[in-house]
């Protein structure tokens, strides 16, 4: 993205061609839908998943798809499925969910915070992720859907008077040259560090103003 340098692990570049997580409506109204960690085996087949509720399922029909590129790994996904007996599930549809990790603010050349729409923010019951439901304004440039850049900066980690630690994060967003003709829903997860602080404060710039969300992690 022009004028914005970043480590590859710090930023995500994506378009918004589809809406995700349309729970309870449309063609998937008879299925369940969850954000989940999808396990992939040595043959690059998805074989099981764990939801944000910490519910584990084995797939009745292992599958592979073009975005599964690495064997023996875990992908962050949104999965539509039919729940079966014995801790099993039949997959209906599955799509990858971009995952952000906090990166020290000084690693970014610019901390761009173009506004975006924010539909929802919540801490997964597992305590592993903070999930964001974003409303991204987009449009086409030269017959291709415009790209957005998303990242997460950690400004500081402060020690409170009770000796607990609070990390201060900022969601970064570069609209770039993408026009704002229409709005798409996009879900993103923030993977919290293993040595997580006691709490997080997350700052997000939206079209409705600047917001800060607080999460107790311990």
Residues 6 or more apart in contact with residue 161 via CB below 8 angstroms:
none
Where residue 178 falls among pLDDT bands split at 50, 70, 90? confident
Indicate if the pLDDT at residue 108 is higher than 90: no
Where residue 16 falls among pLDDT bands split at 50, 70, 90? very low
pLDDT for the residue numbered 22: 46
Per-residue model confidence as pLDDT tens digits over 143-171: 777 677 889 999 999 999 999 999 999 99
pTM of the model: 0.83
Given strand 129-138, what is the order of strands in its sheet?
Answer: 99-100, 182-191, 129-138, 117-123
Domain with CATH 2.40.50 in the chain: 26-96
Burial of 25 per CB tally in 10 Å (0-12, 13-18, 19+): exposed
Domain with CATH 2.60.40.2370 in the chain: 99-216
Topology (CATH level 3) of domain 26-96: OB fold (Dihydrolipoamide Acetyltransferase, E2P) (2.40.50)
Q: SS3 for 26?
A: helix
Indicate if the pLDDT at residue 213 is higher than 90: yes
Query: Does CATH place domain 99-216 in 2.60.40.2370?
Result: yes
Report percent pLDDT > 90 for the chain: 68
Per-residue model confidence as pLDDT tens digits over 24-65: 444 545 689 999 999 999 999 999 999 999 999 999 999 999
- Closest C-alpha to 175, from 148, 204, 154: 148
User: For the ranges 17-26, 69-78, 143-152, which has the lowest average pLDDT?
Assistant: 17-26
Element (H, E) at 104: strand 103-104
Where residue 101 falls among pLDDT bands split at 50, 70, 90? very high
């Amino acid at each position: 993205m022009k004028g914005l340098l970043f480590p590859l692990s710090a930023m995500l570049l994506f378009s918004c061609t589809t809406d995700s997580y349309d729970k309870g409506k449309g063609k998937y109204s008879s299925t369940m839908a969850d954000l989940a960690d999808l396990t992939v085996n040595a043959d690059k087949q998805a074989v099981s998943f764990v939801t944000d509720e910490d519910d584990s399922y084995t797939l009745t029909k292992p599958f592979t798809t073009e975005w599964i590129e690495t064997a023996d790994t875990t992908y962050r996904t949104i999965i539509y499925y039919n729940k079966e007996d014995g801790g099993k599930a039949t997959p209906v549809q599955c799509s990858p969910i971009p995952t952000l990790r906090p990166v020290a603010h000084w690693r970014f050349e610019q901390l761009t915070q173009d506004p975006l729409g924010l539909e929802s923010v919540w801490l997964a019951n597992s305590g592993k992720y903070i999930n964001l439901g974003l409303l991204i304004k987009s449009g086409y440039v030269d017959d291709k859907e415009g790209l957005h850049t998303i990242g997460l900066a950690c400004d500081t980690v402060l020690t409170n008077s009770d000796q607990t630690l609070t990390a201060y994060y900022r969601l970064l967003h570069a609209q770039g040259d993408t026009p704002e003709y229409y709005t798409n829903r996009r879900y993103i997860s923030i993977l919290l560090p293993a040595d997580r602080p006691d709490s997080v404060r997350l700052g997000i710039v939206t079209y409705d103003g600047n917001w800060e969300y607080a999460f107790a992690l311990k």
